[in-house]
């Protein structure tokens, strides 16, 4: 990238220094999808570039970003646990920009990936391009449908089993009570009052 005067800007020759710069949308109002290197997360992330007033941490493709900044993570090492927490436990962040990129985040409460709308800048690492990428990064490798079933059975199965047993007992008691009520003899009904027309013993 060069300025209009043809002079290479200072950040263009700074090596990995450009990769530690924050993503800048700029003061223009275009909506150009671009990529920047997030040195804290150690990954390339997309953002919306306004078209002018940016900096060197601005790449046309994710591949360009990775090739230029692949080794530009912060000097302080980030542990695997903290990286996993940021990629898979942080809440979804739309950001202040006004684009509308469909993205996916991992919900540790639900144990699955959910879709959300990313504005294009200032998000976090729990921001994945598709559900497949989200699951690949955040779902445990030994997790499968069988283990999910076993986890559900052993944690929630006894509780549900108790509810079913209680329901069956209540149903049996109700049925037995109805049968006993039906077997009781009905009391004799009192004769209903009736009007009888009698012949007049004193005819006129």
Number of domains in the chain: 2
Per residue in 159-176, pLDDT (tens digit) is 555 665 666 666 555 555
- Which whole number is the average pLDDT over 9-33? 76
Instruction: Tell me: do 85 and 63 sit in the same domain.
Output: no
Containing structural domain, residue 110: 79-141
Model-level pTM?
Answer: 0.41
CA 122/CA 160 separation, integer angstroms? 44
Q: What is the distance, to the nearest Å, from the Cα of residue 25 to the centroid of all Cα atoms in its chain?
A: 27
- Residue 61's pLDDT is 93
In a domain, 13, yes or no: yes
- Residue 146's pLDDT is 45
In this model, does residue 108 exceed pLDDT 70? yes
Per residue in 139-150, pLDDT (tens digit) is 876 555 444 444
Determine contact, residues 36/6, Cβ cutoff 8 Å. Answer: no
**CATH at residue 30:** 4.10.410.10
DSSP 53: S
């Amino acid at each position: 990238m060069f300025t209009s005067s043809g002079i290479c800007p200072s950040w263009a020759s700074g090596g990995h220094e450009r990769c530690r710069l924050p993503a800048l949308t700029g003061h223009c109002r275009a909506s150009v999808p671009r990529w920047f290197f997030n040195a804290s997360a150690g990954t390339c992330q997309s953002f919306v570039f306004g078209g002018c007033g940016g900096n060197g941490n601005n790449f046309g493709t994710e591949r360009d970003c990775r090739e230029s900044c692949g080794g530009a993570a912060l000097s302080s090492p980030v542990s695997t646990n903290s990286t996993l927490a940021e990629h898979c436990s942080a809440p979804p962040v739309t950001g202040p920009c006004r684009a509308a990129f469909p993205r996916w985040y991992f919900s540790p409460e639900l144990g699955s990936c959910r879709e959300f709308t990313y504005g294009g800048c200032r998000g976090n690492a729990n921001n994945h391009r598709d559900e497949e990428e989200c699951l690949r990064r955040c779902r445990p490798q030994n997790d499968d449908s069988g283990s999910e079933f076993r986890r559900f059975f052993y944690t929630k199965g006894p509780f549900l089993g108790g509810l079913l047993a209680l329901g069956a007992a209540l149903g049996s008691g109700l049925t037995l009570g109805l049968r006993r009520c039906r077997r009781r003899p009905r009391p004799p009904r009192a004769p209903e009052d009736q009007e009888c027309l009698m012949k007049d013993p004193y005819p006129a």
